[in-house]
Structure 1
C-alpha cells in the first residue's frame, strides 16, 4: 500500500472513531519545540510540576521516547461550549469551572477512540503504534501545529481556524511511513487579546508562559496555599481558567460540541460557591465521579472555593467561610482565615478566639497570612 493510500486509510479510521479533525506529520524530523521546553524548565516556569523536569529528556522530541516512530497522526475533538465562558465571571457567588472539566474526563473518551483507531490501523498494516492523550511525555501541541491541525497562539495553546480554541488533542505515533500534511501558519498577527486579558500576567512575552502565575496551574497543580498576590485575581475561578482561550477572535468559527459527554452537567455550569464549600471528602468524590476535577482532591478544591468566597460580597459567603474555620485540613482552614479577613475584618478578630483552635492559628492561619515564599506577602 502506498504512503498516500495508507494515509487516507488512517484518516478514514480516525473519522470512523469519531474524531472531528485528523492530520498527519512526520515524527522524526528536527523541531524547535524541544529547545523551547528546555528554556521553560530552566527558567523555573514549570513551578512545582517536577514531572516536567524528570521527563524532560524523553519529552523534547517524539523519537526521544520512541526511536522507531516515523509518523504522527494527530486527532482533535471539539469541546466548544454553548456560550461565552467569560460571561460566567460576572456572577461572583457562583463558581466558574474551566469548560473542559464541566462533564466527563476527556482523557478516557479520547484514549478509547484512539485505541479503536490504533487497533484498526495495526490490524490493517501490521505496523507498530502507540497512542497518547496528554498524560505521557509527548508534546501534542507542536505536533498538532506541524500537522496543520492548528497553530500555537501567543498564549501557547493551539488555535484552529475550524474550531477556535476548543479542541482536545490526541496522537497516534506509528512506525509506518505516512504522507504528511502541510503545517499550519501562525494567524495571530498583531492581536494580543489573550495576553492582555490574563488576570495574573502569566505571559512574560508572546508565546511564553510562566505557569507559576497561571490560574490553571494555581488551582489544579499547586498543592499548598495559593500565593497571596494571586488570590484576588482568581475571582470566582475554582478550577482552571479559560480567559485567554475564550477571548480569541478565532472563536467566531467555533461551534458547540456535538459530543454529549462534553456538554456541561447542569450542576457544574454555575454551582453556588457556598454549597461547594460544604463538601467533605466522601461528598467530593461522589459529586466528581468520572470528572477530571476529582484528581486534585477535596482539600485543594475547597481551598479554591474559599478563595472565591473571599472574593465574593454576597450574604452567603460569610457563613460558608465561618463553617470551614475548624475544618480538619490545615490547607482549608488557612484559606478560610484569609477569606474571612477579606469578608469581614472586624468579625474575624472576634471569631478567631471562639471558632479557631489555638493550634490552627499556629499552622494554617500563619501559613496563609505571613509572607508567602515568592509571593507578595
Structure 2
C-alpha cells in the first residue's frame, strides 16, 4: 500500500510541474534545531529578528504541528540556461539573482502544493498542511532527510541531478508513509563555493554568517551597508549567485521547464541608468509578481546606487545627483557614496559644500566621504572607499 501511495503522490506531483518528490519522517530526532539555535546564539542571523521569535517553532517539524508524521518534500527546478556569473562583467547593468528573474516562486509553488495536498487528503483521509519557505519550517534539512540532496558547504541544498537550482516546498501529513533514504554529503574536498564568496561570508565549511552575505544585505538588511560590502557587491543589486553558480555539480543541471520561473527579458541585465529613475509606481510595475517587489523601492534603489558607485560609468553621475533629493534617507545616503566614487575629488568636495542635508545619518555619510576620504579618492573606476 505504501509503495502504491508514494507512486500516486509522485505522479500527481510530476503532473503539477514538480521535478522531484520524496518522503521523510516528521517525527525522528532533529539535530538541525540545535544548529539553528547556535547560529542565532552567535548573532549570525543579523537583523532577521523573525529567526529569533520563531526559533522554538523551527526546532522540530512537529513544533509546527504536533500531528505531523510524514513530510512530503518537493523540488521544482529553476536552473538558468547558462552560467550567470559572466553577466557581472557588465558593470553598467544590475545583476539580479537567478531565482528572482521570473515570477515569485512562493506563488508558483504554494498554489500547486495546495492542489497536491487536497488530492493527498482525499486519498489518505488524513490531515495535511502546506509550507513554502515563508513558514518557520527548516526545509533544507528535511530535504536532505528525504533524499532530495544535501546541504553543501555553502549551506544551500545541493542535488546530484539538479545542482544548486531547486525551489523547495513541503506538505506535512498525519499519515504514516514509509520514508525514503536520506542523502549523504558529496562535496568532498571541493571548496569552490567558499572560495567564490565575494564577502567571505563562510567562517567555516557548512557555516554561514548572514551578516556578511550579499543576499542578506541586498534583501533583508534595511539600512546603509558597511563600506567593505558596498565595494564587494559589484553590480549585484538583488541577491548573489556566486557560491551556487561555481559548484561543479551544476554540470548535471538543466534549465527550468516551468515557464513562470524562467527569466523575464527585463530582469536579465537591466541598465542601472534606467533603474535609478524608478519611482514607487514604476518599481511595482516592473517587479509585478516578482520576489524583488517585497523589499520595496527605497531599499532596491539603495542597492542600485551601490552598484552605480562600482560601475566606473561617468554617465551615471547626473542621474545619481538627482537622487540626492530623494525623499528616502537611505537612497540619499547611497547616492552620496556613489557620487564620491564616480566624481573627481574636487568636484565632489564642491558638491558636498553646497548641500544642506536634514537627516543626521546622511550628513554623516557626507562627512565620512568628503572629510575622511574625499581628499584621497581614487580616480573614477579605480579601487577606493
Shift of 1:222: 0.1
Shift of 1:26: 0.5
| 1:366 partnered with 2:364 | yes
SS at match of 1:156: coil
SS at match of 1:189: coil
**2:184 is matched with which residue?**
185
**2:63 is matched with which residue?**
64
Unaligned 5+ segments in structure 2 are 370-384
Listed as ranges, the matches of 1:301-312 within 5 Å are 301-312=300-311
CA distance in 2, matches of 1:184, 1:368: 52
| 1:200 partnered with 2:219 | no
**1:242 is matched with which residue?**
241
TM-aligned CA distance change 1:312 to 1:26, over 3 Å: same
CA distance in 1, matches of 2:366, 2:188: 42
CA distance in 1, matches of 2:366, 2:112: 44
Native 8 Å contact 2:22 2:74 kept in 1 = yes
**2:347 is matched with which residue?**
347
CA distance in 2, matches of 1:370, 1:65: 47
TM-aligned CA distance change 1:312 to 1:10, over 3 Å: same
Q: Which has the larger displacement, 53-62 or 316-325?
A: 316-325
**1:374 is matched with which residue?**
none
SS at match of 1:108: helix
SS at match of 1:191: coil
SS at match of 1:172: strand
Native 8 Å contact 2:302 2:334 kept in 1 = yes
CA distance in 1, matches of 2:59, 2:157: 18
**1:147 is matched with which residue?**
146
TM-score, length basis structure 2: 0.93
Unaligned 5+ segments in structure 1 are 372-376
**2:227 is matched with which residue?**
228
**1:96 is matched with which residue?**
95
TM-aligned CA distance change 1:368 to 1:226, over 3 Å: farther
Deviations 1:125-148 (CA, angstroms, capped at 9, x unpaired): 111100111000000000000101
Native 8 Å contact 1:23 1:75 kept in 2 = yes
CA distance in 1, matches of 2:185, 2:172: 24
Native 8 Å contact 2:313 2:342 kept in 1 = no
SS at match of 1:73: strand
Shift of 1:8: 2.1
CA distance in 2, matches of 1:121, 1:212: 40
Off by >4 Å, runs of 4+ in structure 1? 367-371
SS at match of 2:260: helix
Alpha-carbon RMSD: 1.4
SS at match of 1:155: coil
TM-score, length basis structure 1: 0.95
Shift of 1:94: 0.3
SS at match of 2:237: strand
CA distance in 2, matches of 1:370, 1:177: 61
Native 8 Å contact 2:26 2:71 kept in 1 = yes
Query: Aligned pairs, how many?
Result: 369
